[in-house]
Amino acid sequence: QKIVELQAGDGWKTLNLAFGDLALADDSQDDNGRLDAAEIKQIAVADITTLLGGGEAAENVLRVDQVLFVLAP
């Protein structure tokens, strides 16, 4: 789980997230208690603005242009 906060009107952003920056979600369970690349079954991207109390906007738009998964050498 990795939370990235963006402000409305910031425009396009490039985000680079290293695997080491990610962690198991609070409601996840794992045999060894850590995130293992070989065991990943799902990656989700979500706008949770209204869940965090930011419901003042009439509409939120989340546009994802390109997603790359790169294996380290």
Provide the residue count of the chain: 73
Amino acid at 43: I
Q: What is the pLDDT of residues 9-68, one digit of tens each?
A: 778 888 888 887 777 777 888 888 788 888 888 887 777 776 766 556 567 777 888 888
Predicted local confidence at residue 58, as pLDDT: 63
Q: What are phi and psi of 19, to 5 degrees?
A: -55, -35
Q: How far apart are CA 45 and CA 16, in angstroms?
A: 14
Cα–Cα distances in Å, from 10 out to 2, 18, 24, 31, 44? 19, 22, 28, 40, 22
DSSP 21: G
Q: Select from 1, 6, 4, 12 the least CA-distant residue to 64.
A: 12
